């Protein structure tokens, strides 16, 4: 009888420990889903705060019609910005194309162009909506020296802005505020910073949950090139701290 009880106890302990292990170790997918939900909720919250601040009633507007106009303006601005760029081929440009094509090409963007500009310190990724084309602008010679996972980490961050149409929605919000209030453009823009920061954080998370290496790539990039702080970007150290937290959770996940 005693032996029987101890066997039951052993079986219970085994099942408990299995239960505890399963509970304590989430899957990588669960970690990814949790952080993307947190990031999306954060963006939605900031958008709703902006709506409340300007008492915007979305029912009074036709966002699709407004978005159509934004896209036309946006594409025109892209064409203007790129008109001065040169286009010569190089080994570094081909290397960046090979990496960027894996990230950007597919539905709905079927075309990709890398625009090398040796004056650039930042990396720009701009969709041309009408042409369904993605432009990556960078100093390819400098960029190609980075580890490919660093480049992918940065480009995945940019992809989030495209997937979620962040610049277009940000413009739309400011436009709705303009028509709903007597506030100045300057104030409206400042009051939209919280939304833009939330979009930046979501873009970091979008990249970081893609893989541990991509999160590390972004950390490396921010640590190497500090100074991205601006009114519409979160502080570099806060971004790095969040990326490290996500990386630790993914490392620990099953």
Min dist CB 199 to Zn ion, Å, is 7
Residue placing its CB nearer to Zn ion in the complex, 203 or 243: 203
Q: Which is nearer to Zn ion, 203 or 209 (CB)?
A: 203
**What Cα–Cα distance (Å) separates residue 36 from each residue in 65, 150, 190?**
29, 21, 26
In terms of DSSP bridges, do strands 133-138 and 124-128 run parallel, antiparallel, or are they unpaired?
antiparallel
Q: Tell me how far, at minimum, the Cβ of 112 lies from Zn ion, in Å.
A: 19
Which residue, 200 or 249, has its beta carbon nearer to Zn ion? Answer: 200
Q: Is 105 helix (H, G, I), strand (E, B) or coil?
A: coil
- Write down the least CB distance from residue 21 to Zn ion, Å: 38
Residues 139-158 that bind Zn ion (CB under 5 A): none
Please say which residue, 203 or 219, places its beta carbon nearer to Zn ion. Answer: 203
Scan residues 181-240 and list those touching Zn ion (CB under 5 A): 200, 203
State in angstroms the smallest separation of the CB of 229 from Zn ion. Answer: 13
| CA gap 51, 49 in Å, rounded | 5
Paired residues of 127 in beta bridges: 134
Q: Please identify, using beta-carbon distances, which residue of 115 and 125 lies nearer to Zn ion.
A: 125
- Closer CB to Zn ion, residue 204 or residue 249? 204
Minimal distance, residue 167 CB to Zn ion, in Å: 10
Counting residues that bind Zn ion (by CB under 5 A) gives 2
CB of 205 to Zn ion, least distance (A): 12
- What is the C-alpha to C-alpha distance for residues 197 and 190, in angstroms, rounded to an integer? 11
Between 56 and 242, CB nearer to Zn ion: 242
Contacts by residues 235-244 (CB-CB < 8 Å, ≥ 24 positions apart)? 239/200, 239/201, 239/204, 242/201, 242/204, 242/205, 243/204, 243/208, 243/215, 243/218, 243/219, 244/219
* DSSP letter string, 22-62: HHHS--HHHHHHHHHHHHHHHHHHHHHHHHHHTT--GGGS-
What's the closest the beta carbon of residue 241 comes to Zn ion, in angstroms? 17
For residue 226, what is the DSSP state?
-
Residues that bind Zn ion (CB under 5 A): 200, 203
């Amino acid at each position: 009888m005693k032996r029987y009880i101890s066997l039951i106890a052993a079986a219970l302990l085994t099942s408990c420990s299995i239960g505890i292990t399963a509970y304590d170790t989430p899957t990588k997918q669960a970690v990814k889903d949790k952080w993307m939900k947190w990031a999306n909720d954060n963006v939605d919250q900031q958008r709703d705060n902006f709506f409340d601040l300007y008492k915007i009633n979305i029912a009074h507007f036709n966002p699709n019609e407004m978005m159509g106009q934004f896209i036309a303006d946006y594409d025109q601005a892209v064409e203007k910005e790129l008109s001065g760029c040169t286009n010569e081929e190089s080994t570094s440009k081909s290397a960046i194309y090979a990496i960027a094509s894996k990230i950007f090409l597919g539905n709905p963007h079927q075309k990709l162009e890398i625009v090398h500009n040796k004056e650039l310190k930042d990396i720009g990724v701009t969709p041309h909506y009408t042409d369904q084309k993605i432009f990556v602008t960078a100093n390819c010679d400098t960029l190609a020296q980075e580890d490919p996972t660093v480049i992918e980490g940065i480009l995945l961050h940019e992809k989030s802005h495209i997937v979620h149409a962040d610049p277009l929605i940000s413009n739309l919000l400011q436009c709705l505020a303009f028509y709903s209030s007597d506030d100045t453009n300057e104030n409206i823009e400042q009051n939209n910073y919280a939304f833009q920061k939330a979009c930046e954080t979501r873009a970091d998370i979008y990249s970081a949950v893609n893989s541990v290496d991509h999160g590390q790539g972004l950390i490396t990039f921010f640590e190497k090139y500090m100074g991205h702080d601006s009114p519409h970007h979160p502080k570099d150290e806060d971004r790095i701290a969040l990326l490290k937290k996500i990386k630790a959770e993914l490392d620990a996940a099953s």
